[in-house]
Amino acid sequence: MLENKVALVTGASRGIGREIALTLAGYGAAVIVNYNGSKERADEVVEMITAAGGRAVAVQADVASADGVSGLFEEALQSFGRVDILVNNAGITKDNLILKMSEEEYDAVMDTNLKGAFLCMKQAAKLMLKQKGGRIINISSISGIIGNAGQANYCAAKAGMIGMTKALARELGSRGITVNAVAPGFIETEMTDKLPEQIKTGMLAQIPLKRAGAVKDIAEAVAFLASERASYITGQTLQVNGGMDM
C-alpha cells in the first residue's frame, strides 16, 4: 500500500508514534524514526523494521527546535532522498489546573506539540511542493475538541493543530498534498499510564465501545490517511476514540 513511499514520524520511539512507524513500514514505507531522548527505544524500532525486511533510520531531534527540525529533514533526505508522508506525533503533557499552571508548563506543551508540528510542516511543505504530492497527518487529541480540565495548555495546542491542519489543507491542496488530523481518544500508552486510576475509570465510563484504545487503532487510521485510498480527503479530523465524542 505504501511501497516506494518515505514516511517521517516524529516521536516514534514509544507509544502511538512507535506503532505508526511499525505499521507504515509494514505497508512498505521507508521510515524515519524520530526521537528526542529515547535513543535505545528508537534503535529498537529501527531493528524491528529492518528485521522484517523494511527500511528505517533513527534520527534524534527536538521538534521544538527549528535547528533540530531542519537537521531532521536533512538527515531524512540523506537517508532516503524524499519525504512523502509526515506524521506529527511527538507530544507531551504538563497538566495542571489553570491557577497552578506555570508559564513554563504552558510554553513547553505549546512548543513541542504545536510549534513542533508547525516547524515540521514548514520543512515538509517545501519538499512536497517540489514533489507535487504528499501526505501530512497531525496527531491531535479529543482534548482539543471537547476540552479537559487540567489541560489548558494541551487542549490549546491540540485545538491549534486542527486549525493549522485546515489552513495547510487549503494552502497545499492544489499541489496534490493532503493535510489531515487524527484525534485519538483514550489510548493505552505511557502518557495515559501516569493518570490517576479515578480519572482512567471515569474516562472508560464515557466510551461507548467500553475499552481503552490500542496504539494499533490509531496507527491504522494514520496508514489509511497516508494511502492513495484517502486521496480525496483533506482538512479533516478523524476521531478515533471508541465513540467518546459524537
What are the catalytic residues?
A: 154
Q: How many CB atoms lie within 10 A of CB 149?
A: 10
Candidate segments 99-107, 162-170, 172-180, 190-198, binder of ligand NAP by CB under 6 A: 190-198
Q: Kindly state the number of chain residues that form the binding site for ligand NAP, as judged by CB under 6 A.
A: 29
Report in angstroms how near the CB of residue 56 gets to ligand NAP at its nearest: 14
Question: Quick one: 234 or 241, whose CB is closer to ligand NAP?
Answer: 241
Q: By CB under 6 A, name the one of 6, 7, 15, 76 that touches ligand NAP.
A: 15
Report in angstroms how near the CB of residue 118 gets to ligand NAP at its nearest: 13
Span 83-112, contacts to ligand NAP by CB under 6 A: 89-92, 112
Residue 63 touching ligand NAP (CB under 6 A): yes
Residue 10 touching ligand NAP (CB under 6 A): yes
Q: How many CB atoms lie within 10 A of CB 167?
A: 13
Three-state secondary structure call for residue 178: strand
Q: By CB under 6 A, name the one of 62, 75, 84, 217 that touches ligand NAP.
A: 62
Span 212-241, contacts to ligand NAP by CB under 6 A: none
Distance, CA of 97 to CA of 201 (rounded, Å): 20
Three-state secondary structure call for residue 185: coil
Phi, psi of 159 (to 5 degrees): -70, -40
Q: By CB under 6 A, name the one of 40, 104, 190, 228 that touches ligand NAP.
A: 190
Question: Quick one: 68 or 133, whose CB is closer to ligand NAP?
Answer: 68
Report in angstroms how near the CB of residue 225 gets to ligand NAP at its nearest: 15
Distance, CA of 16 to CA of 51 (rounded, Å): 20
241 secondary structure, DSSP code: S
Residue 80 touching ligand NAP (CB under 6 A): no
Distance, CA of 52 to CA of 141 (rounded, Å): 31
Distance, CA of 135 to CA of 223 (rounded, Å): 10
Those residues whose C-beta lies under 8 Å from the C-beta of residue 2, and which sit 6 or more positions away, are: 24, 27, 28, 29, 85, 223, 226, 227
Report in angstroms how near the CB of residue 232 gets to ligand NAP at its nearest: 25
Report in angstroms how near the CB of residue 85 gets to ligand NAP at its nearest: 16
Candidate segments 49-57, 61-69, 123-131, 164-172, binder of ligand NAP by CB under 6 A: 61-69
Q: How many CB atoms lie within 10 A of CB 134?
A: 24
Span 116-155, contacts to ligand NAP by CB under 6 A: 139, 141
Phi, psi of 150 (to 5 degrees): 90, 5
> In the block, which residue shows the cell 489553570?
98
User: Are 136 and 179 spatial neighbours (Cβ–Cβ below 8 Å)?
Assistant: yes
- Judged by the rule CB under 6 A, the positions of this chain that interact with ligand NAP are 10-11, 13-17, 34-38, 62-64, 89-92, 112, 139, 141, 184, 186-187, 189-192
